[in-house]
Amino acid sequence: MTKKQFFTYLMLVVGFGLAVWLLYQVFREHSFSEIAQSVRDIPAANLALALLFAFGSYLCLTGFDWCGVRYVKNDLPYPKIALASFIALSIGQSVGMSGLSSGALRYRYYAHWGMTTEDVAKIVLLSGVTVGLGMAVLAGIVMVLNPQDAAAVLRLRQGGVIAIGAGCLAATALYIALAAFLRAPLKIRSWTFQMPTWKIAVAQVVIGTVNFALVSACLREVMAAGADVSYLKAATAFVLANVAILITHAPGGLGVLEATVRHVMGDQASIGSLVAFRVIYFFIPLFIGLPLSLVVEAIFRARKSGSSPQPNGDQRAAVSAG
């Protein structure tokens, strides 16, 4: 086992242990019946809207891959892109280490459709950049418009939080500017990265931001059933939860997301709302993505065996004689 593999497994173990501990801290004061009742108290209309926002988010996530595929100058049809993206991310976001797990699944599909390993690596990389851009814009907006909540959690002055938010927005604007005017490849040690076109860069920013805005709306909808929750505060909680998830590497943000949102929102984040959000945004897509991946894999294998060269007449005669 290499040092890199050991470190990866160690982070998974630590992240899973932290997730279990945080989940215990969040749920220890509540019985199963209390949690179930808290979920049942969420009106069907709120759950329906939360499902709609989650669907919109996963639709945006297919746009992450669409940007990547167009970046490598491939004309793969959108339905195939959407299929690969949904399966990869519905599983990857719940399993954890999304860049690795979803990247492996993407490679399985895109390689089957004729892409090279380099192309797939670039698609995964650009999707990661789109995640960063979307989160940076949403973080910038909530920190500028709602600095008090972020300041309380980060233990910073509101002026400092506003400055961080403005920096996030400025960094995003710089990315678009580089995409528009810098055509020479960027070189960092032995690594070379060609900036996308400005149109793809703008699409990344818009799609990435709308995606996280929809996830925040999903979270806000399940919490709004039991409390008067503002969208900005829910979005702030979601942004800070994602920062914590990046730091801890907890699988699917399990425990970390719930603990952070609970810390930011207080009693406004009921136990039922946290469970409902986890089920709607993570578990339902996972339970759709897993069987769908098995169906697609079966189709791939069937087509591969069907396209295998059949023995000619002389070969069949030789086999029969043997």
Flag whether 5 is in a domain: no
Confidence (pLDDT) at 319: 39
pLDDT tens column, 179-209: 999 878 877 666 677 899 999 999 999 999 9
| Highest mean pLDDT of the ranges 17-21, 223-227, 249-253 | 223-227
Express each pLDDT in 50-59 by its tens digit.
999 999 999 9
Helix 271-278 with 198-224: angle, nearest 10 deg? 140
DSSP label of 279:
I
pLDDT, residue 258, reads 81
Q: Is residue 307, in this structure, part of any structural domain at all?
A: no
Mean pLDDT score of the chain, rounded to an integer? 83
Is 53 inside any structural domain?
yes
State the Cα angle at 262 between 96 and 29, rounded to 5°: 100
Q: Distance of CA 129 to CAs 57, 149, 172, 178, 195, Å?
A: 17, 26, 11, 14, 11
> What range does the domain containing 275 cover?
43-297
For 251-265, what is the mean pLDDT?
Answer: 79
The count of structural domains within the chain is 1
Residue 283 has pLDDT above 70, yes or no: yes
Is residue 6 included in any domain, yes or no?
A: no
- Location of structure tokens 């039991």: 226
